[in-house]
Structure 1
Amino acid sequence: MESIWSSEVKFKEREKLDQNLECDIVIIGAGITGLLTAYMLNKSGRNVVVIDAKSIASGNTKNTTAKITSQHKLIYDTLFKEFGEEGARQYAKANELAIKRYKEIIDEEKIECDFEYKDSYVYSLESAENIEKEYNAAKKLGIDAELAESVNLPFEIKSALKFKNQAQFNPLKFLKPISEKLTIYENTRAIDIKENKVIVEGGEIKASHIIVATHYPFLNVPGYYFMRMHQERSYVIALENAQEVDGMYKSGDKKGYSFRNYKNLLLFGGSAQRTGENESGGAYEELRKAAKELYPNSIEKYHWSAQDCMTLDDIPYIGRYSSSLPNVYVATGFKKWGMTSSMVSAMIISDIILEKENDFSEIFSPRRFDMSASMKTAAKDLVITAKNFIAQRIDIPEEHTGNIEKGHGGIIEYKGQKAGVYKNNDGRIFAISTKCPHLGCELHWNADELTWDCPCHGSRFDYEGNWVEGPATKGDNNI
């Protein structure tokens, strides 16, 4: 399984950090958020080091649909109600500015990344009412928007809202020349943050400022981000011999599909569910069935999936990690809008560090939720308990796995404990504890991707128990 972006772009490999370092700023995470922030701070003359547990853009950055848009489904009407006009205006300004900033960097660095201006649409098959409310909110904020009764999609709609002058690109083509100018260490996993130091496997990095750009924050305390986010997975197939839709489309209904073209392909997405809720599989098959109905002559060329952090109010957490960690910063909770949110994060965090004025950071502040003392106590207890829940490989005799078919995974009872078992097509058994090493939640099987996923906070492990993505920081092979 490989995204179209990964098939077209390969990054230069970087060394693993095996010594102590000192720098102005260390950024944990070499995805688009970390690299954009590093780029801005590096241009200001700061000494910046980026580290990643795997490799450059190896996480969700490579699995995006790469739409650069301030149209985030139906959000502005809600923002008016919950945060007032000023909050909604900050959100709109930040995301509109993000689109312009991408174009400025592309022009300044002369980057060839298939950047195109495209109109963005949110459509509904069910009702025009919510679309009209969103249109009214967008117009109040000065967004260049208009209503549409028909769109270039293979079905009739009730209504659609068009945002003009949005954009799309190939994110890895964009990041490759930017990354080449940065100091980056790969296969360098951050284990902990202590005062002004990042502890890594094999050393430590001392810095005046520390930025956590790991998609989901790996520090549980302080911050308590695990109490105010969950993760969802969504799926994409790239189709040949499908339609030129002339824009970027997202359904405003509870269930629906997304569309956008790249070269001769149509990127067709949907089948979203909370991480850990795909035990039976079928997410890709649902998309394939719909694609054949909508585009009978289409041919699938690629398929991939992405994971998104969902905050309590649908707004990212961008800014200082916690009041008790004034030199540590976080960018997370991008929902399904990682391209503009990553640029907004880079602008906000670099402005804070460089002590520049910023008139849209308040709406994104992680401190807009205040953890009570009782919640802090509960979180502390969870962290202590989690230390006893590290997943370990288990040797299970074959006679106890008879109900698991070849090529499938599932949970069995063995010696009074639950174990996650995967049986490959040759009949070989792979078994791990079902307790997530993050905070002890029970892992669920993901049949589409042959992984064990945590429904609580979104950590993922392969069928051998190896770490795939956080907030957990390790799997079986690290114990």
Structure 2
Amino acid sequence: MESVWSYEVNFRKRETLNQDIQCDILVIGAGMAGLLTAYMLSKSGRDVVVIDARSIAGGVTKNTTAKITSQHELIYDKLIKEFGEDGASQYARANELAIRRYKEIIDAEKIACDFEHKDAYLYTSDNIKDIENEYNAAKRLGIDAELVDEVNIPIKAKKALKFKNQAQFHPLKFLRPISEQLTIYENTVALDITEDNTVVTKNDMKIKANKIVVASHYPFLNTPGYYFMRMHQEREYAIALENAQDVKGMYKGIDQNTYSFRNYKNLLILDGAARRTGENEEGGAYEELRKVAKEFYPNATEKYHWSTQDCITLDNIPYIGHYSSKTPDIYVETGFKKWGMTTSMVAAMIISDMILEKENDFSEIFSPRRFDMSASMKNAAKDLVITAKNFIAERINIPEETLNSIGNGHGGIIEYKGEKAGVYKDNEGKVYTVSTKCAHLGCELKWNADDLTWDCPCHGSRYNYEGIWIESPTNKCLHEV
């Protein structure tokens, strides 16, 4: 299960950090946000090192639909109401600039990454007033937008909002030449940051840095910052179809149970079927998309399918800035919702400007300090960690007759003698058992039948069926607790 991007691009393998080092700036996370931040800082002459728990662009970046757009669902009308026109204007300016900055880097570095300017559409069959309100908000903010009555997709939309001159690209083709300019260590897991700005890794290496940027998709430190109390995570699924349709733009529905469309070369990427992480025990997300594809494009052939995960903040605005009020030399980039490509550029611009002490006129709206819980939640977080450790279940031996309730190729939770265990049987009947308690804060894991993973419904940590962690905020496997 790999995205079309992953099938087409491989990165040069980098070594694991095996000695203590010092650097000016350490970036944790080699996805789009982290690499863009490192790129901008290195271009300014700073000594930058990047580490990643796995591989370059091996997480969310490789599973994006790769739209670069300032149109982020119904956002601007809400922003004006909640943060005023100035706050909304900051958000709009930042994302419009991000589109232009991608083009500038692509031209300067001569990167062939299938970059194309495309119009972006929000469409509706039921909520015309919401679309009209969003249009009025966009015009107030100076966004080049237009209301249209017809769209080039097989859904009968009554109204659509078009943002002109947006963009799409191949994210891994873009990142490969960028990554070649940077010092990167793969398979280097950050476990902690000490008070003197030293990052401690899983293999007990230490990295001393003047500035640290946490660009690990989901922040791995619970305190300070308390991001696990300020975000949730959702999964979204995509299929790429051959012999479908050129929709001549990028489309996203605002109604319930609607879908997104964009083309890449001869493929149509259809995505949707979103679920909150930890709420997909029965599966069926891919089948939902395949059923829709069969209805819309009966002669199309599925070439790829994949899924991704998004961090969503309390107010749908990313957290970009100082990790907390108590950590002036640690920065965070997270909560990009479903707009990671554009927001990665926004984050890189803001954080690099902050570190380089440059003026920036759009950083305030993204500041994590708009929800600073550090003082009031200190004791509560400590209690949660203690509780979690007490609830981690040990591996238990389960009789064969009990295991028979799980069929081959399926997973689920089994209770035996008051203990719970997660069980998965592969297609040959081999059994894999894990603790059902998340290694992050002890929430009970749920089976994800589409991805064959154990997912945390509280904060979005994920593990494969053997208990190996694959998504933060946890940075431990289930057997390591």
Bin of the TM-score, shorter chain as denominator length: over 0.9
**Structure 2 match to 1:90:** 90
Structure 1 residue 418 displacement after superposition = 1.0
Structure 1 residue 417 displacement after superposition = 1.1
Matched, 1:113 2:124: no
In structure 1, stretches of 5+ residues that fail to align are: none
- Judge conservation of contact 2:50–2:183 (CA < 8 Å) in 1: yes
- In the TM superposition, 1:37-56 aligns within 5 A as 37-56=37-56
Please state whether the residue corresponding to 1:387 is helix, strand or coil: helix
Which of 381, 384, 408 is residue 382 of structure 1 equivalent to?
384
- Judge conservation of contact 2:395–2:421 (CA < 8 Å) in 1: no
- Judge conservation of contact 1:238–1:267 (CA < 8 Å) in 2: yes
Matched pairs, number = 479
- Judge conservation of contact 2:119–2:162 (CA < 8 Å) in 1: yes
- Judge conservation of contact 1:391–1:475 (CA < 8 Å) in 2: no
**Structure 2 match to 1:197:** 198
Alpha-carbon distance between aligned partners in 2 of 1:96 and 1:103, rounded to the nearest angstrom: 12
**Structure 1 match to 2:436:** 434
Structure 1 residue 155 displacement after superposition = 2.3
Alpha-carbon distance between aligned partners in 1 of 2:478 and 2:393, rounded to the nearest angstrom: 6
Alpha-carbon distance between aligned partners in 2 of 1:60 and 1:414, rounded to the nearest angstrom: 36
**Structure 1 match to 2:14:** 14
Alpha-carbon distance between aligned partners in 1 of 2:96 and 2:215, rounded to the nearest angstrom: 22
Structure 1 residue 372 displacement after superposition = 6.7
Q: Deviations over 1:312-363 (max 9, x none)?
A: 0000000000111111000000000001110000000000000000010000
Which of 237, 245, 248 is residue 246 of structure 1 equivalent to?
248
Alpha-carbon distance between aligned partners in 1 of 2:108 and 2:452, rounded to the nearest angstrom: 42
- Judge conservation of contact 2:435–2:478 (CA < 8 Å) in 1: no
Alpha-carbon distance between aligned partners in 1 of 2:109 and 2:400, rounded to the nearest angstrom: 58
**Structure 2 match to 1:462:** 464
Alpha-carbon distance between aligned partners in 1 of 2:350 and 2:393, rounded to the nearest angstrom: 37
- Letter of the 2:159 counterpart: S
In structure 2, stretches of 5+ residues that fail to align are: none
Matched, 1:236 2:245: no
Q: Deviations over 1:124-170 (max 9, x none)?
A: 01121100000000000000000000010112111000000000000
Percent identity over the alignment is: 73
Alpha-carbon distance between aligned partners in 2 of 1:392 and 1:304, rounded to the nearest angstrom: 32
- Judge conservation of contact 1:395–1:431 (CA < 8 Å) in 2: no
- Letter of the 1:344 counterpart: V
**Structure 2 match to 1:104:** 104
**Structure 1 match to 2:413:** 411
Structure 1 residue 371 displacement after superposition = 1.5
- Letter of the 1:400 counterpart: T
- Judge conservation of contact 2:230–2:313 (CA < 8 Å) in 1: yes
**Structure 1 match to 2:179:** 179
**Structure 1 match to 2:3:** 3
**Structure 2 match to 1:320:** 322
Q: Relative to structure 1, is the Cα distance of residues 392 and 38 closer, same or farther in structure 2, using a 3 angstrom cutoff?
A: farther
Structure 1 residue 254 displacement after superposition = 2.8
- Judge conservation of contact 1:389–1:436 (CA < 8 Å) in 2: no
Alpha-carbon distance between aligned partners in 2 of 1:113 and 1:157, rounded to the nearest angstrom: 32
Alpha-carbon distance between aligned partners in 2 of 1:93 and 1:373, rounded to the nearest angstrom: 33
**Structure 2 match to 1:262:** 264
Alpha-carbon distance between aligned partners in 2 of 1:425 and 1:244, rounded to the nearest angstrom: 38
Alpha-carbon distance between aligned partners in 2 of 1:182 and 1:201, rounded to the nearest angstrom: 22
Q: Relative to structure 1, is the Cα distance of residues 198 and 14 closer, same or farther in structure 2, using a 3 angstrom cutoff?
A: same
Please state whether the residue corresponding to 2:415 is helix, strand or coil: strand
Which of 392, 395, 398 is residue 396 of structure 1 equivalent to?
398
- Judge conservation of contact 2:331–2:351 (CA < 8 Å) in 1: yes
CA RMSD for the aligned pairs? 1.1
